[in-house]
Amino acid sequence: MSSLYINKLAVVGVGLIGGSLSLALKASGAVGHVVGIGRGQANLDKALELRVVDSVTRDLAAGVADADVVFLATPVLTLGPVACEAMPHLKPGAILTDGGSVKQAVIDQIEPFLRADVHFVPGHPIAGTEHSGAEAAFASLYQGRRSILTPTPRTDPAALALVQAMWEAAGCEVVVMDVEKHDRVLAAISHLPHMVAYALVNAVGAYDRYEENILEYSAGGFRDFTRIASSDPTMWRDIALTNREALVEMMGQFEAFFRELKDDVARGDDERLFEFFRRSKESRDAIL
Amino acid sequence: MSSLYINKLAVVGVGLIGGSLSLALKASGAVGHVVGIGRGQANLDKALELRVVDSVTRDLAAGVADADVVFLATPVLTLGPVACEAMPHLKPGAILTDGGSVKQAVIDQIEPFLRADVHFVPGHPIAGTEHSGAEAAFASLYQGRRSILTPTPRTDPAALALVQAMWEAAGCEVVVMDVEKHDRVLAAISHLPHMVAYALVNAVGAYDRYEENILEYSAGGFRDFTRIASSDPTMWRDIALTNREALVEMMGQFEAFFRELKDDVARGDDERLFEFFRRSKESRDAIL
């Protein structure tokens, strides 16, 4: 059994990611008190009503003041401003960590403002649903999922170990990874698929040759396929802006494969088409 | 209540599509006897054991001989040869229909060989799972799904009405559609998404910068997204080959949207990115 115990955890942004961490740690007895911090009173009220957190406040300075661990779970582009605003109010020795989907951009936003007596551990739990807000949070979101931590040369080993224990208490397998590798791997397996889904839905939606909504003819496969194209536009704008270089590289790689396939279709090259589809099925089946 | 009753139905290809039609019609009492016809004895034995059909045979001529309706549910490129081989053995007035995902190519394969005393009704039930074979068949596959019929100038109105009643008895809403429109709409909402999924899995799978299988890091969204990339390679090769023109057009349309998105990411155009994602979410949410 883990000996992790966090007296007070502050969660900034009580949505699916932050709220579920709170619920998971409360369920495993790894935390004493969780304060939820946010800007919208309605969502905070809901979080308190559903007992997602133990107390709530819209006052960032007061909320983080005596927290041992502060978890930032806001959209990627607001992590820097929030960390900067909270910094003077953190207690000495406090650990600051985050759940941003992009890591280099977050580190670049936060480390220049980091106090010498505060520890920062950049992180990214790979979990989620298409829902958001405190109501979407649930204690088992992280069970069996991976959480990636990307320490920098400035990251304190003891703080890293504590954040690792925190995610393990929430049910995650923790992977410690180089920052650049994180951003490239996520560009490939998460950010690129979202771009593809968004482009697909827009391309099909714009196909109005028959002056009716042909999306209505779509069957199960297409609906599953485009579920992720209904994800939050602000979140994905931020991810695209902050992981631009790796994402553009992966989009270029996808374009090359798609063009190869289109050429094979146009030429009616049956052997190459079969091999293209067979290879995809093989690598996809291997991850099941 | 429908007055449809088919004395004897022959299903050629007792897999998910053909087997499920048999089960649905048997469940609704719309058919007397269903004979399953196929090439593989093991699958036919399984179909009989699971009571998907009432009898089985590998002899196409004998199987179709006294059938009132013959449903062809083989891969698209074999529909023509199978129809041609069955033709001399059909009884006068028999109705031949199919479930092929592409319609013009199937009509071109079958109509030149059509006997004057046999009726052909081209069709396409829009339903499926990623599973195949007689074991995958289930009676409710077609409940609430659409089945598209694409009559030609040669199609007999009474035969069309009977096949429509058959699909309605299986649970479908039937849509009668122009052949060319069917092939273009399906290219957009089914064939294109499959091409995109196949290309995505291959592009990500080929990204070996870190000499490990990065697909292992994929979370729920990507796995759902690429489920259709594990569909049968032979089936999709046939569809790509037989709906080439419409598919290449839609692939070009997708490429243009994807390139626009990539350019917006590369330029870091936050307003256009937000609008692109918002528009996709809006049209996707509208079909739920």
Query: Given A199, A207, A256, which is nearest B188 (Cβ)?
Result: A207
Q: Determine the average pLDDT of the residues in B56-74.
A: 98
* Residue A38 to residue A16: CA distance in whole angstroms: 13
Q: Cβ of B270 under 8 Å from any chain A Cβ?
A: yes
Instruction: Give Cβ neighbours of residue A164 (< 8 Å, ≥ 6 apart).
Output: A149, A174, A176
At residue B231, the pLDDT reads 82
Torsion angle in degrees (nearest 10) through CA of A232, A235, A236, A239: -170
* Residue A193 to residue A231: CA distance in whole angstroms: 12
Render pLDDT for A72-85 as a digit per residue (tens, 0 to 9): 999 899 999 999 99
Instruction: Give Cβ neighbours of residue A79 (< 8 Å, ≥ 6 apart).
Output: A72, A98, A100, A106, A109, A110
B272: exposed, middle or buried (Cβ count in 10 Å: 0-12, 13-18, 19+)? middle
Q: Which residue in B181, B204, B215 has the most chain A C-beta atoms within 10 A of its own C-beta, making it the best mutation to test that interface?
A: B204
Q: Determine the average pLDDT of the residues in A53-70.
A: 98
Report the percentage of chain A scoring pLDDT > 70: 93
A-facing residues of B in 230-259 (CB < 8 A) are: 230-234, 236-237, 240-241, 244, 247-248, 250-259
Domains and CATH numbers, chain A: 6-177 (3.40.50.720), 181-286 (1.10.3660.10)
Shortest alpha-carbon distance between residue A171 and chain B (Å): 15
Between A114 and A223, the more confident residue is A114
HSE-CB for B221 with a 13 A CA cutoff = 23
Say whether pLDDT at A241 is over 60.
Answer: yes
> Max alpha carbon distance in chain A (Å)?
67
Measured CA to CA in angstroms, residue A44 lies from A12, A76, A97 at distances of 11, 20, 21
Q: Which of A140-154, A210-224, A241-255, B177-191 has the lowest mean pLDDT?
A: A210-224
By C-alpha distance, the chain A residue nearest B212 is: A185
Query: Given A219, A259, A281, which is nearest B190 (Cβ)?
Result: A219
At residue A101, the pLDDT reads 93
Say whether pLDDT at B219 is over 80.
Answer: no
Say whether pLDDT at B2 is over 60.
Answer: no
Nearest residue to A123 (alpha-carbon basis) of A110, A133, A132: A110
Measured CA to CA in angstroms, residue A186 lies from A102, A119, A192 at distances of 8, 25, 8
**Contact criterion met (CB < 8 Å) for B204 and A223:** no
Tokens at A3, concatenated: 């000996």
Q: Cβ of A227 under 8 Å from any chain B Cβ?
A: yes
In SS3 terms, chain A reads as CCCCCEEEEEEECCCHHHHHHHHHHHHCCCEEEEEEECCCHHHHHHHHHCCCCCEEECCHHHHHCCCCEEEECCCHHHHHHHHHHHHHHCCCCCEEEECCCCCHHHHHHHHHHCCCCCEEECEEECCCCCCCCHHHCCCCCCCCCEEEECCCCCCCHHHHHHHHHHHHHCCCEEEECCHHHHHHHHHHHHHHHHHHHHHHHHHHHCCCCCCCCHHHHCCHHHHHHCHHHHCCHHHHHHHHHHCHHHHHHHHHHHHHHHHHHHHHHHHCCHHHHHHHHHHHHHHHHHCC
B-facing residues of A in 22-61 (CB < 8 A) are: none
Q: Tell how strand B55-57 and strand A173-176 pair up.
A: unpaired
CB of A200 closer than 8 Å to CB of B192: yes
Q: Determine the average pLDDT of the residues in B147-165.
A: 97
Q: Determine the average pLDDT of the residues in B169-197.
A: 94
- Which residues is A124 bridged to in the sheet? A148
Render pLDDT for B129-140 as a digit per residue (tens, 0 to 9): 778 899 999 999
Q: Which residue in A216, A217, A285 has the most chain B C-beta atoms within 10 A of its own C-beta, making it the best mutation to test that interface?
A: A217
Tokens at B57, concatenated: 């045979």
| Residue B69, SS3 per DSSP | strand
Render pLDDT for A185-196 as a digit per residue (tens, 0 to 9): 999 989 999 999
At residue B227, the pLDDT reads 77
Q: Determine the average pLDDT of the residues in A41-53.
A: 97
CB of A184 closer than 8 Å to CB of B155: no
Q: Determine the average pLDDT of the residues in A4-13.
A: 97
**Contact criterion met (CB < 8 Å) for A287 and B200:** no
Between B232 and B240, the more confident residue is B240
Instruction: Give Cβ neighbours of residue A281 (< 8 Å, ≥ 6 apart).
Output: B229, B230, B231, B232, B233
**pLDDT tier at A88 (50, 70, 90 boundaries)?**
very high
Sheet of B146-149, strand order: B123-125, B146-149, B173-176
At residue B132, the pLDDT reads 85
Say whether pLDDT at A13 is over 90.
Answer: yes
At residue A211, the pLDDT reads 61
Q: Cβ of A272 under 8 Å from any chain B Cβ?
A: no
Q: Determine the average pLDDT of the residues in A165-189.
A: 95
Rounded to the nearest integer, the mean pLDDT of chain B is 92
B55: exposed, middle or buried (Cβ count in 10 Å: 0-12, 13-18, 19+)? middle
**Contact criterion met (CB < 8 Å) for A204 and B216:** no
**Contact criterion met (CB < 8 Å) for B204 and A188:** yes
Shortest alpha-carbon distance between residue B66 and chain A (Å): 34
Instruction: Give Cβ neighbours of residue A172 (< 8 Å, ≥ 6 apart).
Output: A125, A127, A142, A144, A145, A146, A147
At residue B18, the pLDDT reads 97
| Residue B74, SS3 per DSSP | coil
- Collect all residues of chain A within an 8 Å Cβ-Cβ radius of residue B264: 240
| Residue B153, SS3 per DSSP | coil
Q: Determine the average pLDDT of the residues in B55-75.
A: 97
* Residue B231 to residue A219: CA distance in whole angstroms: 15
By C-alpha distance, the chain A residue nearest B256 is: A203
CB of B132 closer than 8 Å to CB of B16: yes
- Collect all residues of chain A within an 8 Å Cβ-Cβ radius of residue B124: none
**pLDDT tier at A230 (50, 70, 90 boundaries)?**
confident
**Contact criterion met (CB < 8 Å) for A240 and B145:** no
Say whether pLDDT at B215 is over 90.
Answer: no
B-facing residues of A in 161-190 (CB < 8 A) are: 181, 184-186, 188-190
What ipTM describes this predicted complex? 0.87
Q: What angle do CA B46, B48, B54 make, to 5 degrees?
A: 155
Instruction: Give Cβ neighbours of residue A78 (< 8 Å, ≥ 6 apart).
Output: none
* Residue A283 to residue B6: CA distance in whole angstroms: 44
Say whether pLDDT at A103 is over 70.
Answer: yes
**pLDDT tier at A1 (50, 70, 90 boundaries)?**
very low
Q: Cβ of A2: how many Cβ atoms within 10 Å?
A: 11
Shortest alpha-carbon distance between residue B262 and chain A (Å): 6
Nearest residue to B104 (alpha-carbon basis) of B250, B243, B236, B248: B243
At residue B1, the pLDDT reads 42
